Amino acid sequence: SAVISQKPSRDICQRGTSLTIQCQVDSQVTMMFWYRQQPGQSLTLIATANQGSEATYESGFVIDKFPISRPNLTFSTLTVSNMSPEDSSIYLCSVEVAPGQGNYGYTFGSGTRLTVV
């Protein structure tokens, strides 16, 4: 089954700075997904990262705030730019696991807990 390595695991950042989160998958996947989970809330999709094309952002999320890179089929980064305390959340990347690859469904990275002070 697909295994995702996500880092950093956690960080405390000053407002106005940026943080880049990385996800590495142990197999090639077409699409990778980035989610945000604000304190006490459920997961909300930020964007879909496609290899070789611009990421597709969901309503309420913009590229200037959350630029995404997808240089190849196993790797993606999400940057949280010009951070404010409202960006304090858990950020998660995810891929879809196809049938026959063990844990069918959607697999998540270990998550990044971001605190902005």
Chain residues binding another protein by CB under 8 A are: 9, 31, 33, 41-45, 48, 90, 92, 94-96, 103-113
Residue 93 Cα distances to 34, 106, 108, 117, angstroms: 4, 10, 6, 23
Residue 113 Cα distances to 4, 10, 30, 53, 99, angstroms: 16, 4, 26, 28, 30
**Least distance CB 31 / another protein (angstroms):** 5
Question: Nearer to another protein by C-beta: 65 or 113?
Answer: 113
Question: Nearer to another protein by C-beta: 74 or 94?
Answer: 94
Residues in the chain, overall count? 117
**Least distance CB 42 / another protein (angstroms):** 4
**Least distance CB 46 / another protein (angstroms):** 11
